[in-house]
Amino acid sequence: DKADIGVTGLATMGRNLARNFAHHGHVVAVHNRTESRTTRFMEEHRDEGAFLPASTVEEFVASLERPRKAIIMVKAGAPTDAVIEELAAVMEPGDMIIDGGNAHYMDTRRREAALRERGIHFVGTGISGGEEGALNGPSIMPGGDAEAYKTLGPLLEDVAAKVDGVSCCVHVGPDGAGHFVKMVHNGIEYADMQLIAESYDLLRQALGLSPQELSGVFREWNQGDLESYLIEITAEVLGHTDPATGKPFVDVVQDQAEQKGTGRWTVQSALDLGVPVTGIAEAVFARALSGHPEQRAAARSLTGPSGTAGDSGLVEDVRRALYASKIVAYAQGFDQMAAASAEYGWDLNLGAMATIWRGGCIIRARFLDRIRAAYDADPNLPTLLVDPTFAQALEEAQESWRRVVATAATIGVPTPGFSSALAYYDGLRRDRLPAALLQGLRDFFGAHTYRRVDREGSFHTDWSADRAERSA
């Protein structure tokens, strides 16, 4: 008679999520601003389970079992605020509003605080996996308070993807933690895709391999360390022939990457937190560079090499460079989650984040088991790079990695992902960084002071006079 859960917003994601709940035996209330969408939903899916269609928000809320649980799956931003307000106006203390859209975590923090005042639990929830995932089991990253999770959690865990019998849903942490983690997931996805794209580009240019041949290379890579959804679909896309022209599909697609903004959000947040997520940043910037056709047309007159290089050994080199760079990109993303956890008091369990990304979401990969194992072994790992398994992988990969970056530079193929990952690796492991010189310069022009390696305290050198040093 009453619904276990409700979904408002029946576009691609909401529709499939509602069906997923119903397929798992839950009674689902469904609602959409424009009623025709609800009507169509019922026409198409009523046989799949128990749905309670509602034409108004009041009816929708009234059809929910207490404590009421309403998932919002509408456009992020102002539409989400509007729907929250409509729901909250007719809800009661103890009820739950779950935002499953791609909200910015700062919006989620704001909304959670405002609704808490009114006694309503607000659970900002990251959902990854696109329309397929929503239907068959996404990766679910709920934030909000632990009390809400007690009754909501089992429902979400039920419809999430499962890997080795473990649900890809866990209570991430309070307020905006879920949406933050979803954001970083997307940022890592950008980095992962950029590295794959560089691998393809370099091998195609250096060895003259065709997209068909490269499809085979990626298919083979998917059998090893790199096994992942993204590598698998890379083989699919590269192997696809455009039916209209008979050309490789990848050659008829305009080479200007678009973005919806979560990668940019990740980098903006990382800048604020002071975490060097160079892999994600380079990926966001590489997309931005591709999207400047006028500059690119003008720059075609600039000179540079464009030859071939290497032999079949380069394929294995690139595979290793890709793996090493991927480790770096993930290490940076996990650093960002650790930093946010400290900043906002979220107490994130990093190993659990790797666990819920193993299935359902876009970056699902075997690799995430290794990250989980690394945090299981040492929850306070200063960086994933020093986990013994990853440290060894980096050691094994690094000759190849350096050859790949050198080859790319020599023949003029841009590999910002590979290059910056290697620079990060070398930067972190370096005994002395030139930051010492930077400090000297800062003190010279701005009296910004510096610390010494041999004594406590801050110091300033009187650069314009006798160059005597004094305590600052």
Closest CB to ligand NDP among residues 71, 275: 71
Binding span for ligand NDP by CB under 6 A among 77-85, 88-96, 225-233, 280-288:
77-85
Binding span for ligand NDP by CB under 6 A among 6-14, 46-54, 203-211, 338-346:
6-14
- CA 441, 447, 448, 454 dihedral sign is positive
Cβ neighbours of residue 46 under 8 Å, at least 6 residues apart? none
Of 164, 184, 435, 215, which Cα lies nearest the Cα of 330? Answer: 184
Among 5, 7, 28, 32, indicate the residue that binds ligand NDP (CB under 6 A).
32
Beta-sheet strand order (sheet of 450-451)? 450-451, 458-461, 469-471
Catalytic site includes residue 189: yes
Report which residue type is found at 135.
Answer: L
How many degrees, rounded to 5, is the angle at CA 369 between CA 363 and CA 374?
115
Among 101, 176, 239, 359, indicate the residue that binds ligand NDP (CB under 6 A).
101
Q: Minimum distance from CB of 40 to ligand NDP (Å)?
A: 10
Q: At what angle do helices 416-429 and 278-290 cross, to 10 degrees?
A: 160
Cβ burial 420-431 (10 Å sphere, 16+ → b, else e): bbbebbeeeeee
Q: Counting contacts by CB under 6 A, is residue 102 touching ligand NDP?
A: yes
Q: Counting contacts by CB under 6 A, is residue 226 touching ligand NDP?
A: no
Residue 433, exposed/middle/buried by CB under 10 A (0-12, 13-18, 19+)? exposed
Annotated binding site for substrate: 102, 128-130, 185-186, 190, 260, 287, 442, 448
Q: Minimum distance from CB of 114 to ligand NDP (Å)?
A: 18
Catalytic site includes residue 456: no
Site string for ligand NDP, 55-74 (x = CB under 6 A): ------------------xx
Among 28, 29, 54, 76, indicate the residue that binds ligand NDP (CB under 6 A).
76
Closest CB to ligand NDP among residues 44, 316: 44
Report which residue type is found at 95.
Answer: D
Among 3, 10, 84, 270, indicate the residue that binds ligand NDP (CB under 6 A).
10
Q: Minimum distance from CB of 72 to ligand NDP (Å)?
A: 8
Report the alpha-carbon distance of residue 340 to residue 351 in Å, rounded: 15
Of 182, 197, 195, which Cα lies nearest the Cα of 328? Answer: 195
| Footprint (CB under 6 A) of ligand NDP, residues 114-153 | 127, 130-131
Q: Counting contacts by CB under 6 A, is residue 181 touching ligand NDP?
A: no
As given in the structure block, the two tokens for residue 205 are 């240019």
Annotated binding site: 9-14, 32-34, 74-76, 102, 128-130, 185-186, 190, 260, 287, 442, 448
DSSP letter (8 states) at residue 191: H
Question: Would you name the residues annotated as active-site residues?
Answer: 182, 189
Residues at the site binding ligand NDP, with contacts judged by CB under 6 A: 9-14, 32-34, 37, 73-76, 79, 82-83, 101-102, 127, 130-131
